[in-house]
Amino acid sequence: MNQQIRKSVAPAKGMQPALVPEGLFDLRYAAFLETVSHLRVKLHRYCARMTGSALDGEDIMQEALFEAYRKIERLDDAQALRPWLFRIAHNRCIDFIRNRRARQRAEAGYAGDDIVPPVEPAGPGAGRAIERLVVHLPPKERACVLLKDVFDHSLEEIADLVGSTTGGVKSALNRGRAKLAALPAQPVAAPAHDPELARLLDRYVELFNIRDWDGVRTLASADARLRVSDCYNGLLSASPYFVEYERSELPWRMRRGAIGGEIVLVLDRLYGDAWRPAYLVRIHAADGVIDHITDYYACPWILDMASVDAG
Protein backbone atom coordinates (compact mmCIF):
# COMPACT_ATOMS: atom_id res chain seq x y z
CA MET A 1 0.00 0.00 0.00
CA ASN A 2 2.74 2.48 0.91
CA GLN A 3 4.44 1.86 -2.45
CA GLN A 4 1.14 2.61 -4.19
CA ILE A 5 0.71 5.78 -2.17
CA ARG A 6 4.21 7.01 -2.98
CA LYS A 7 3.97 6.16 -6.68
CA SER A 8 0.58 7.76 -7.14
CA VAL A 9 1.38 11.04 -5.40
CA ALA A 10 5.14 11.51 -5.75
CA PRO A 11 6.06 14.71 -7.64
CA ALA A 12 7.63 14.30 -11.05
CA LYS A 13 11.39 13.86 -11.04
CA GLY A 14 13.21 17.09 -10.32
CA MET A 15 10.04 18.76 -9.02
CA GLN A 16 9.08 19.58 -5.45
CA PRO A 17 5.65 20.81 -4.39
CA ALA A 18 5.57 24.30 -2.92
CA LEU A 19 5.51 24.71 0.84
CA VAL A 20 1.92 25.93 0.51
CA PRO A 21 -0.29 24.83 -2.39
CA GLU A 22 -0.96 27.74 -4.72
CA GLY A 23 -3.65 27.87 -7.37
CA LEU A 24 -5.56 24.79 -8.44
CA PHE A 25 -4.26 21.62 -6.76
CA ASP A 26 -2.62 19.11 -9.08
CA LEU A 27 -3.79 15.57 -9.82
CA ARG A 28 -1.11 13.94 -7.68
CA TYR A 29 -2.33 15.78 -4.60
CA ALA A 30 -5.92 14.85 -5.44
CA ALA A 31 -4.80 11.20 -5.63
CA PHE A 32 -3.20 11.49 -2.21
CA LEU A 33 -6.38 12.97 -0.71
CA GLU A 34 -8.35 10.06 -2.13
CA THR A 35 -5.88 7.59 -0.61
CA VAL A 36 -6.30 9.04 2.90
CA SER A 37 -10.04 9.76 2.62
CA HIS A 38 -10.91 7.01 5.11
CA LEU A 39 -8.96 8.85 7.83
CA ARG A 40 -10.19 12.37 7.29
CA VAL A 41 -13.30 12.34 9.49
CA LYS A 42 -11.30 11.21 12.52
CA LEU A 43 -8.45 13.58 11.73
CA HIS A 44 -10.90 16.45 11.54
CA ARG A 45 -12.58 15.50 14.82
CA TYR A 46 -9.20 15.43 16.52
CA CYS A 47 -8.08 18.79 15.11
CA ALA A 48 -11.47 20.38 15.81
CA ARG A 49 -11.50 19.27 19.45
CA MET A 50 -7.86 20.22 19.99
CA THR A 51 -8.49 23.74 18.67
CA GLY A 52 -12.06 24.15 19.92
CA SER A 53 -13.34 25.03 16.44
CA ALA A 54 -14.69 22.82 13.65
CA LEU A 55 -13.55 25.37 11.07
CA ASP A 56 -10.06 25.91 12.50
CA GLY A 57 -9.79 22.14 12.79
CA GLU A 58 -10.52 21.74 9.07
CA ASP A 59 -8.00 24.43 8.13
CA ILE A 60 -5.31 22.74 10.22
CA MET A 61 -6.17 19.33 8.79
CA GLN A 62 -5.82 20.72 5.26
CA GLU A 63 -2.35 22.04 6.14
CA ALA A 64 -1.39 18.76 7.80
CA LEU A 65 -2.46 16.73 4.78
CA PHE A 66 -0.42 18.86 2.42
CA GLU A 67 2.60 18.55 4.72
CA ALA A 68 2.14 14.78 4.68
CA TYR A 69 1.92 14.84 0.89
CA ARG A 70 5.20 16.72 0.68
CA LYS A 71 6.88 14.19 2.99
CA ILE A 72 5.29 11.00 1.66
CA GLU A 73 8.67 9.54 0.65
CA ARG A 74 9.56 9.33 4.35
CA LEU A 75 6.76 6.86 5.04
CA ASP A 76 8.28 3.37 4.88
CA ASP A 77 5.50 1.36 6.53
CA ALA A 78 1.93 1.49 5.24
CA GLN A 79 0.67 0.44 8.68
CA ALA A 80 2.18 3.64 10.07
CA LEU A 81 0.03 5.91 7.90
CA ARG A 82 -2.62 6.63 10.53
CA PRO A 83 -0.28 7.46 13.45
CA TRP A 84 1.97 9.41 11.07
CA LEU A 85 -0.91 11.61 9.92
CA PHE A 86 -2.15 12.07 13.47
CA ARG A 87 1.35 13.11 14.57
CA ILE A 88 1.58 15.75 11.85
CA ALA A 89 -1.92 17.01 12.66
CA HIS A 90 -1.14 17.02 16.39
CA ASN A 91 1.98 19.13 15.86
CA ARG A 92 0.01 21.56 13.73
CA CYS A 93 -2.64 21.83 16.46
CA ILE A 94 0.00 22.54 19.10
CA ASP A 95 1.48 25.28 16.90
CA PHE A 96 -2.00 26.77 16.52
CA ILE A 97 -2.62 26.70 20.27
CA ARG A 98 0.80 28.21 20.95
CA ASN A 99 0.19 31.02 18.47
CA ARG A 100 -3.10 31.71 20.22
CA ARG A 101 -1.11 32.02 23.46
CA ALA A 102 -3.33 29.46 25.11
CA ARG A 103 -0.40 27.14 25.69
CA GLN A 104 1.44 29.66 27.88
CA ARG A 105 -1.60 29.97 30.15
CA ALA A 106 -1.88 26.20 30.36
CA GLU A 107 1.79 25.21 30.84
CA ALA A 108 1.55 25.46 34.62
CA GLY A 109 -1.20 22.85 34.57
CA TYR A 110 0.99 19.87 33.71
CA ALA A 111 4.27 19.61 35.55
CA GLY A 112 5.98 16.35 34.64
CA ASP A 113 5.98 14.24 37.79
CA ASP A 114 2.87 15.26 39.71
CA ILE A 115 1.25 12.40 41.59
CA VAL A 116 -2.43 12.28 40.74
CA PRO A 117 -4.85 9.59 41.95
CA PRO A 118 -6.06 7.40 39.08
CA VAL A 119 -9.37 8.47 37.57
CA GLU A 120 -11.45 6.00 35.60
CA PRO A 121 -12.42 6.98 32.05
CA ALA A 122 -15.99 8.03 31.39
CA GLY A 123 -18.44 5.26 30.59
CA PRO A 124 -19.66 4.17 27.15
CA GLY A 125 -21.39 6.88 25.16
CA ALA A 126 -19.56 9.73 26.89
CA GLY A 127 -17.17 10.34 24.02
CA ARG A 128 -19.16 13.20 22.49
CA ALA A 129 -19.49 14.97 25.84
CA ILE A 130 -15.75 14.59 26.42
CA GLU A 131 -15.04 16.06 22.99
CA ARG A 132 -16.98 19.22 23.85
CA LEU A 133 -15.21 19.74 27.14
CA VAL A 134 -11.57 18.91 26.39
CA VAL A 135 -10.96 22.42 25.08
CA HIS A 136 -10.82 23.47 28.75
CA LEU A 137 -7.75 21.28 29.34
CA PRO A 138 -4.09 22.15 28.77
CA PRO A 139 -2.85 20.89 25.38
CA LYS A 140 -1.03 17.75 26.56
CA GLU A 141 -3.92 16.58 28.74
CA ARG A 142 -6.36 17.49 25.97
CA ALA A 143 -4.46 15.36 23.45
CA CYS A 144 -4.08 12.39 25.81
CA VAL A 145 -7.75 12.33 26.80
CA LEU A 146 -8.90 12.65 23.19
CA LEU A 147 -6.55 10.01 21.86
CA LYS A 148 -7.32 7.50 24.64
CA ASP A 149 -10.96 8.05 25.60
CA VAL A 150 -12.32 9.11 22.20
CA PHE A 151 -10.02 7.54 19.58
CA ASP A 152 -8.91 4.52 21.64
CA HIS A 153 -5.19 4.77 20.90
CA SER A 154 -2.82 2.73 23.03
CA LEU A 155 -0.68 4.39 25.69
CA GLU A 156 2.40 3.62 23.60
CA GLU A 157 0.89 5.24 20.49
CA ILE A 158 -0.08 8.33 22.48
CA ALA A 159 3.36 8.61 24.06
CA ASP A 160 4.98 8.52 20.63
CA LEU A 161 2.55 11.04 19.21
CA VAL A 162 2.80 13.64 22.00
CA GLY A 163 6.52 13.10 22.66
CA SER A 164 6.18 11.64 26.14
CA THR A 165 6.47 8.34 28.02
CA THR A 166 3.69 5.91 28.91
CA GLY A 167 4.03 7.07 32.51
CA GLY A 168 3.72 10.68 31.43
CA VAL A 169 0.63 9.82 29.38
CA LYS A 170 -0.97 8.03 32.34
CA SER A 171 -0.33 11.05 34.54
CA ALA A 172 -1.75 13.45 31.93
CA LEU A 173 -4.81 11.21 31.54
CA ASN A 174 -5.45 11.20 35.27
CA ARG A 175 -5.13 14.97 35.52
CA GLY A 176 -7.28 15.55 32.46
CA ARG A 177 -10.03 13.17 33.57
CA ALA A 178 -10.08 14.67 37.06
CA LYS A 179 -10.43 18.18 35.67
CA LEU A 180 -13.20 17.13 33.29
CA ALA A 181 -15.10 15.47 36.13
CA ALA A 182 -14.89 18.71 38.14
CA LEU A 183 -16.04 21.02 35.34
CA PRO A 184 -19.42 22.73 35.78
CA ALA A 185 -21.98 22.51 33.02
CA GLN A 186 -20.84 24.65 30.11
CA PRO A 187 -23.32 27.04 28.48
CA VAL A 188 -23.59 27.05 24.71
CA ALA A 189 -21.53 29.90 23.29
CA ALA A 190 -23.48 32.63 21.55
CA PRO A 191 -22.09 33.99 18.29
CA ALA A 192 -19.93 37.06 18.81
CA HIS A 193 -21.82 40.15 17.67
CA ASP A 194 -19.86 42.31 15.24
CA PRO A 195 -22.34 44.74 13.66
CA GLU A 196 -19.96 45.79 10.88
CA LEU A 197 -19.20 42.20 9.88
CA ALA A 198 -22.89 41.27 10.13
CA ARG A 199 -23.82 44.08 7.72
CA LEU A 200 -21.06 43.05 5.30
CA LEU A 201 -22.17 39.40 5.36
CA ASP A 202 -25.81 40.35 4.89
CA ARG A 203 -24.84 42.38 1.84
CA TYR A 204 -22.73 39.49 0.53
CA VAL A 205 -25.67 37.10 0.98
CA GLU A 206 -28.06 39.52 -0.72
CA LEU A 207 -25.83 39.95 -3.78
CA PHE A 208 -24.96 36.25 -3.87
CA ASN A 209 -28.59 35.17 -3.88
CA ILE A 210 -29.52 37.49 -6.76
CA ARG A 211 -26.43 36.28 -8.67
CA ASP A 212 -24.88 39.76 -8.85
CA TRP A 213 -21.31 38.51 -9.13
CA ASP A 214 -19.83 41.88 -10.02
CA GLY A 215 -21.46 43.28 -6.91
CA VAL A 216 -20.08 40.46 -4.78
CA ARG A 217 -16.57 41.06 -6.13
CA THR A 218 -16.71 44.72 -5.07
CA LEU A 219 -17.00 43.60 -1.44
CA ALA A 220 -13.52 42.01 -1.54
CA SER A 221 -10.11 43.65 -1.64
CA ALA A 222 -7.95 43.35 -4.75
CA ASP A 223 -5.59 40.96 -2.97
CA ALA A 224 -8.25 38.91 -1.16
CA ARG A 225 -7.36 35.26 -0.71
CA LEU A 226 -9.53 32.23 -1.41
CA ARG A 227 -9.22 28.68 -0.19
CA VAL A 228 -11.59 26.02 -1.49
CA SER A 229 -10.97 22.78 0.39
CA ASP A 230 -9.31 20.05 -1.73
CA CYS A 231 -9.25 22.32 -4.76
CA TYR A 232 -7.74 25.80 -4.67
CA ASN A 233 -5.61 28.16 -2.61
CA GLY A 234 -4.64 31.57 -3.96
CA LEU A 235 -5.92 34.96 -5.01
CA LEU A 236 -9.69 35.28 -5.27
CA SER A 237 -9.26 37.42 -8.39
CA ALA A 238 -7.30 34.65 -10.13
CA SER A 239 -9.86 31.95 -9.38
CA PRO A 240 -12.96 30.77 -11.28
CA TYR A 241 -14.87 30.80 -7.98
CA PHE A 242 -17.87 32.96 -8.86
CA VAL A 243 -17.85 31.73 -12.47
CA GLU A 244 -18.46 28.20 -11.17
CA TYR A 245 -21.47 29.40 -9.19
CA GLU A 246 -22.74 31.33 -12.20
CA ARG A 247 -22.59 28.17 -14.32
CA SER A 248 -24.23 25.98 -11.71
CA GLU A 249 -27.75 24.81 -12.45
CA LEU A 250 -28.32 23.34 -8.98
CA PRO A 251 -30.99 25.05 -6.84
CA TRP A 252 -29.18 26.75 -3.96
CA ARG A 253 -29.40 29.74 -1.66
CA MET A 254 -27.12 31.35 0.92
CA ARG A 255 -27.91 32.60 4.41
CA ARG A 256 -26.11 33.76 7.52
CA GLY A 257 -25.68 31.19 10.30
CA ALA A 258 -23.37 30.25 13.14
CA ILE A 259 -21.19 27.35 14.22
CA GLY A 260 -19.38 27.08 17.53
CA GLY A 261 -20.03 30.71 18.39
CA GLU A 262 -18.74 32.00 15.04
CA ILE A 263 -20.83 33.69 12.34
CA VAL A 264 -20.57 31.84 9.03
CA LEU A 265 -22.42 31.64 5.72
CA VAL A 266 -24.47 28.53 5.00
CA LEU A 267 -25.06 27.28 1.47
CA ASP A 268 -28.41 25.47 1.30
CA ARG A 269 -29.46 23.16 -1.52
CA LEU A 270 -32.94 22.02 -2.44
CA TYR A 271 -33.56 18.31 -1.91
CA GLY A 272 -37.06 17.51 -3.11
CA ASP A 273 -39.23 20.11 -1.40
CA ALA A 274 -36.84 20.82 1.48
CA TRP A 275 -33.88 23.16 1.78
CA ARG A 276 -30.97 21.57 3.62
CA PRO A 277 -27.51 22.89 4.50
CA ALA A 278 -24.88 21.59 2.07
CA TYR A 279 -21.71 23.31 3.28
CA LEU A 280 -20.27 26.36 5.01
CA VAL A 281 -18.32 29.41 3.90
CA ARG A 282 -16.12 31.40 6.25
CA ILE A 283 -15.56 35.10 5.58
CA HIS A 284 -12.83 37.23 7.12
CA ALA A 285 -12.86 40.99 6.74
CA ALA A 286 -10.58 43.88 7.67
CA ASP A 287 -11.60 47.54 7.63
CA GLY A 288 -14.99 46.66 6.22
CA VAL A 289 -13.59 44.76 3.21
CA ILE A 290 -13.40 40.99 2.66
CA ASP A 291 -9.79 39.82 2.63
CA HIS A 292 -10.24 36.04 2.92
CA ILE A 293 -12.88 33.50 1.91
CA THR A 294 -12.69 29.82 2.89
CA ASP A 295 -15.18 27.51 1.19
CA TYR A 296 -15.75 24.10 2.84
CA TYR A 297 -17.83 22.50 0.09
CA ALA A 298 -15.82 19.24 0.20
CA CYS A 299 -16.07 18.85 4.00
CA PRO A 300 -19.45 17.34 4.98
CA TRP A 301 -18.01 16.19 8.33
CA ILE A 302 -18.09 19.82 9.52
CA LEU A 303 -21.87 19.89 9.24
CA ASP A 304 -22.07 16.51 10.97
CA MET A 305 -20.09 17.91 13.88
CA ALA A 306 -22.15 21.10 13.92
CA SER A 307 -25.39 19.13 14.16
CA VAL A 308 -23.96 17.18 17.10
CA ASP A 309 -22.94 20.37 18.86
CA ALA A 310 -26.39 21.83 18.39
CA GLY A 311 -28.10 18.77 19.85
8 Å CB contact between 117 and 174: yes
Q: CA-CA distance, 264 to 282, in Å (whole number)?
A: 5
Least confident among 44-48, 123-127, 131-135, 148-152: 123-127
Query: Do 58 and 131 lie in a common domain?
Result: no
Q: CA-CA distance, 309 to 311, in Å (whole number)?
A: 5
Q: What is the pTM of this model?
A: 0.79
Question: Residue 23: its pLDDT value, please?
Answer: 78
Query: Do 242 and 297 lie in a common domain?
Result: yes
The CATH number given to whatever domain includes residue 225 is 3.10.450.50
pLDDT tens per residue, range 48-89: 999 989 999 999 999 999 999 998 887 777 668 889 999 999
The CATH number given to whatever domain includes residue 13 is 1.10.1740
Q: How confident is the model at residue 21 (pLDDT cuts 50, 70, 90)?
A: low
pLDDT tens per residue, range 245-274: 888 888 899 999 988 778 899 999 998 889
Number of domains in the chain: 3
Query: Do 258 and 159 lie in a common domain?
Result: no
Which domain range does residue 246 map to? Answer: 195-310
Alpha helices in 36-189 (DSSP H): 40-51, 54-70, 81-99, 102-106, 127-133, 139-145, 155-162, 166-182
Q: How confident is the model at residue 222 (pLDDT cuts 50, 70, 90)?
A: very high
Of residues 2 and 42, the one with the higher pLDDT is 42
Query: Do 246 and 299 lie in a common domain?
Result: yes
3-state helix, strand, coil in the chain (%, to 5): 55, 15, 30
Q: What is the mean pLDDT of residues 135-153?
A: 92
Query: Do 158 and 219 lie in a common domain?
Result: no
Residue 189, domain member (yes or no): no
Residue 41, domain member (yes or no): yes
DSSP structural state of residue 191: P
